[in-house]
Amino acid sequence: MLSRPFFTTHEIAELLKVSEATVRNWIHEGELRAVRLGRDFRVAAKDLEAFVNARATQPEPDQKD
């Protein structure tokens, strides 16, 4: 699903269809792990994926191979 190692708050907002202010609030409240680079934040793909998975309403289905 996520192919880039880091995302900007703008990219996350577009991806999740929320405002950039919402993404920044998640970061400031400690809900979404981010790295501060100057005045901007970057979020690792694995942290974004963990954030989204933690908010899923249903557990992931068992993968049987």
Please report, to the nearest 10 degrees, the dihedral formed by the alpha carbons of residues 43, 49, 52, 57 taken in order: -170
pTM: 0.81
Q: What angle do CA 57, 25, 32 make, to 5 degrees?
A: 55
User: Above 90 in pLDDT, residue 61?
Assistant: no
Task: Give the pLDDT band (50/70/90) at residue 2.
Answer: very low
DSSP-assigned letter for residue 56: -
User: Above 70 in pLDDT, residue 1?
Assistant: no
